[in-house]
Amino acid sequence: MSHYIPYPIDQVRHISYQLCLAVKFLHDIALTHTDLKPENVLFVNSDYNIVFNHRKRRDERVVRRTDIKVIDFGSATFDWEHHSTIVSTRHYRAPEVILELGWSQPCDVWSIGCILFELYLGFTLFQTHDNKEHLAMMERILGPIPYRMAKQSKKTKYFYHGRLDWDERSSAGRYVRDNCKQFRRYMVVDEPDHQQLFELIEKMLEYDPKRRITLVETLQHPFFERLLPEQRINNVTSSKS
């Protein structure tokens, strides 16, 4: 799927709808995927057209059909099974996983939020390989990590008096400052479709997993109201949340 990004907003809508629906099915049976990322979302048919992008002055591949499948259930975990301390590929890892606060289905929702951002813009939101830097990026983009989560974390070395212990004057601090900005500033066009997408992603990137939007709620979000009738699948919100 990563060969085509970024995608037009209508394709982002259809892909994200299917992704949320597929993962909701897992959540309904008490299963957490734990490793959602673009590489684990495949097109059913990868045929594409070559279209010239006049703004970027280059040819680009545009996929013809956006039907998808979710793959790689090797790390999927039922609620009653042992939960590994660390799950998810780094860039799509939820804060409760990094802070070792325990995890369940909401960590998938965080990963989906990161994927939606990547579909829309064509690059990874949290481009890092270090835990503290990852948390600093979150704070730069999404605001401060809740005090309660910081105090409950086993990773006390990351915090000082409940605040992230981060030196913005260091080389890593300058990297975060130069490469991250407030979330809404990433929006390409200030139009209703784009505003709705960013509102949805913000709800998926809620720090507190207990307050994070569920996939049942996600599928009822206004962003999906403009799906074409043939793209909809019936009875998507009838199961438990």
CA dist 9 and 123 (Å) reads 15
HSE on the CB side for 61, CA within 13 Å? 11
Q: Which residue has the tokens 């802070």?
A: 99
CA dist 66 and 151 (Å) reads 43
Q: Is the peptide bond before 6 cis (omega within 30 degrees of 0)?
A: yes
CA dist 137 and 179 (Å) reads 9
Cβ-count burial 190-201 (b if 16+ within 10 Å, e if not): eeeebebbbebb
What's the burial of 17, exposed, middle or buried (CB within 10 Å: 0-12/13-18/19+)?
buried
Q: Which residue has the tokens 């509102």?
A: 199
Cβ–Cβ under 8 Å, residues 18 and 24: no
* 35: annotated active-site residue: yes
What lies within 8 Å, CB to CB, of 194 at 6+ separation is 9, 187, 188
Nearest 5°: CA angle at 19, between 38 and 211? 100
Instruction: Spot the catalytic one: 28, 35, 190, 193.
Output: 35
- Please, which residues bridge with residue 25 across strands? none
Enzyme catalytic residues: 35
